[in-house]
């Protein structure tokens, strides 16, 4: 494990956002959704996430998640991902979303 400084950590913009729309992503190599997320003052951003094992599209809408919003955009198939959805792998390697315990304002930064 590599040690980082507090200044390194402060560079990562981990922000809370609410999922407002979910679409299938048939062109992704592995099963995934396209997520439209409201990050408050930072605006609406899109990303893809390989979370189809644990979540249906319907149960994702309205859920607050944590995303890294200061990475450069990344092209995934025919789609531009604007932030990184965060999560943890379960015992089978399937992703469980990183969420907040209680609602916070969209755009809140992890501190």
CATH 2.40.50.140 applies to domain 7-97:
yes
Largest CA distance in the chain: 40
Backbone phi, then psi, for 40, in 5-degree steps?
60, -125
User: Which of 43, 49, 42 has its CA nearest to residue 79?
Assistant: 49
pLDDT one digit per residue (tens) for the chain, 111 residues: 999 999 999 999 999 999 999 999 999 999 999 999 999 999 999 999 999 999 999 999 999 999 999 999 999 999 999 999 999 999 999 999 999 999 999 999 998
DSSP structural state of residue 73: P
Residue 24 host element (H or E): strand 14-24
Residue 60 host element (H or E): helix 57-60
Segment 49-81, tens digit of pLDDT: 999 999 999 999 999 999 999 999 999 999 999
């Amino acid at each position: 494990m590599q040690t980082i400084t507090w200044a390194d950590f402060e560079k990562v913009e981990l922000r809370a956002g609410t999922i407002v729309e979910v679409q299938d992503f048939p062109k992704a190599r592995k099963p995934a959704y396209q997520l439209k997320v409201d990050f408050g003052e930072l605006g609406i951003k899109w990303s893809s996430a390989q979370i189809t094992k644990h979540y249906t599209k319907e149960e994702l809408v309205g859920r607050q998640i944590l995303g890294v919003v200061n990475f450069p955009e990344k092209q995934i198939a025919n789609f531009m991902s604007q932030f990184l959805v965060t999560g943890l792998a379960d015992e089978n390697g399937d992703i469980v979303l990183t969420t907040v315990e209680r609602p916070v304002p969209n755009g809140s930064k992890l501190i």
